[in-house]
Amino acid sequence: MTHEDIILSINNLAISFKSFSGRVRALRGVTIDVVRGKTIAIVGESGSGKSVTVKTIMRILSKNEKIESGSIVFNNKRDNEIVPIDLLKLSNKHMQREIKGKKIAMIFQDPMTSLDPTMKIGKQILEAIFAHKKIKLKAAVEQVHQLLETVGIKNIKAVMNAYPYQLSGGMRQRIVIAIAISCEPDLLICDEPTTALDVTIQSKILDLIKKIQKARNLSVIFITHDLGVVSRIADQVYVMYAGKIVEYGTCNDIFYDPRHPYTWGLLESTPDMAYLQERLASIPGTPKRMIGDVKGDQFAERNRYALNIDFRMEPPFFKVNDHHFAATWLLHPKAPQIRIPESLRKRIDLMKEENRNG
C-alpha cells in the first residue's frame, strides 16, 4: 500500500496505567493501518485495549495514562498535499483546534449519557460547528437542519429545541452522529456505537453509519465485540487480545479463514440463527490483567491448542497471505498440524454456501 492510501497509522503503540497494584500494561505494541475511505473494525473482549487505542487517538484518556512508546501518524490532506502529523507529539491546544472534531471525530458508546443533559440539542450541534467554522449563526442553523436531515430525523425544529432526556436512545445516537460529522472530518471513530441500543435500532444506526461513510468517503475505525456487526460493516478486521493485535486481515480472511485460536473462539461464541448449536460455545476464563512484566503468549492459559512454546515466548506475526497475518505459533512450519475446530469448520462452510446462494 502506498503512503497516500493510509490515513492513519498507529505504530507499535504501548500504553500503561498507574494503578495501586502496579503498572497495568494496557497496550503492548499495537500497529494498525487505516486505509483512506475504508472501514476497519477492531474486535476483542472487554479489556483487550480496543477503547484505549481509540481514546489515545482522540486524547481523551484519564491522567494516569502513560504513553510508553510508538506513534500515531495522521496523514493530513491539505490542498492535495499529504502532510503527516504525529498526533502524540501535538500540543493539547493544537490537537483541540486542528484535529479533534475537525479531522477526526468520534461516536461514543452510550448515547444515553453522551449528551449534556442541561443543553438543548440544537445548541449542542451548533457548538460543534462553531468549534471549527467561522460562519454566521443563520448559516450554522441551516447546517444543523441539513445534518439532522442526513441522520434521518423528521421533526427537526422540535428536536433542536428538545433536551436530551426527551429523546430516545436511537434518536440520541443519531444526534451524536450528527455532531461527529458536523465539521466534515476525514476519520470517524466509532466506539461500540450500537452496543447500548436494542437490536432493531442497532441495525438502523449501522445502516446510517454505512450510508454516511459511503456518501462522504469517510475512513472509519469501528470498535465492537460483536462479530455480526463486523461482517456487515468492515473492510478490514483487527482482532485484539490483551493489548495486542493477534490477527488481522480482510473481512473474508477473518470470517472464512481464521487462523488464531482466539479468533476461532470469538467466531464460535457468536450466536447464529443459520447454524443452531445445542449450546453456545464460549472461551473459558477471562482476560488477564497485565501487571508488571509479562512472558509468553497471554492467551496461552485460555487456549485449548496452546503449545509449550506459547508459555515462554510471544509469537511473532506469521503471514497467511499478502493481507492476512496472525500471531500464533500454530502457523510456524515446525508446529503440529492443528486444524480449525470441526464445529467452526461446518459453520464457515454453511456461511460460504449461503453467500454463494444469496
Partner 1 sequence: MEVIHMIRYIGKRTILSLITLFIILFILFLMLNFMPGSPFNDTKMSHEQLKILYHEYGLDRPLAERFLIYVKQMLTGNLGVSYSLQTNATVTNMISHTLPISVQIGLQASVVGSLIGIVLGFVAALRKNSFFDSMATGISILGVSVPSFVLALCFSYIFSYKYNLFPLLYSSSEAFRSTILPTLSLCFFTLASIARYSRSEMIEVMEKDYIRLADAKGITRFQLVCRHIIRNAMIPIITVLAPLTVDLMAGSLVIEKAFSIPGMGSLYINAIQANDYNVVIGISFIYSLMFIGTMFFVDLLYGLIDPRIRIAKRGK
List interacting residues with partner 1 (CB under 8 A). 58, 60, 62-63, 92, 96-97, 99-102, 105-106, 108-110, 113-119, 124, 127-128, 131-132, 163, 165-166, 176, 179, 183
Closer residue to partner 1 (CB): 58 or 85: 58
Burial class (CB in 10 A: 0-12, 13-18, 19+), 120: middle
To partner 1, the closest distance from the beta carbon of 228 in angstroms equals 25
To partner 1, the closest distance from the beta carbon of 29 in angstroms equals 26
Q: Is 76 helix (H, G, I), strand (E, B) or coil?
A: strand
Please write down the long-range contacts of 246-251, taking CB distance under 8 Å and 24 or more positions apart: 246/299, 246/326, 246/327, 246/328, 247/325, 247/326, 247/327, 247/328, 248/32, 248/324, 248/325, 248/326, 249/320, 249/321, 249/323, 249/324, 249/325, 249/326, 250/323, 250/324
To partner 1, the closest distance from the beta carbon of 130 in angstroms equals 8
What does R_g of the chain's alpha carbons equal in angstroms?
21
To partner 1, the closest distance from the beta carbon of 50 in angstroms equals 16
To partner 1, the closest distance from the beta carbon of 163 in angstroms equals 4
Closer residue to partner 1 (CB): 188 or 237: 188
Closer residue to partner 1 (CB): 38 or 102: 102
To partner 1, the closest distance from the beta carbon of 100 in angstroms equals 4
Closer residue to partner 1 (CB): 178 or 331: 178
Torsion of CA 292, 295, 296, 301, to 10 degrees: -60
Q: Please, which residues bridge with residue 6 across strands?
A: 35
Closer residue to partner 1 (CB): 96 or 231: 96
Closer residue to partner 1 (CB): 124 or 224: 124
Closer residue to partner 1 (CB): 67 or 112: 112
Q: Please, which residues bridge with residue 248 across strands?
A: 238, 325
Angle between helices 342-357 and 261-268 (to 10 degrees): 70
Count of CB atoms situated within 10 Å of the CB of 150: 17
To partner 1, the closest distance from the beta carbon of 202 in angstroms equals 19
Closest by Cα among 69, 332, 286 to 298: 286
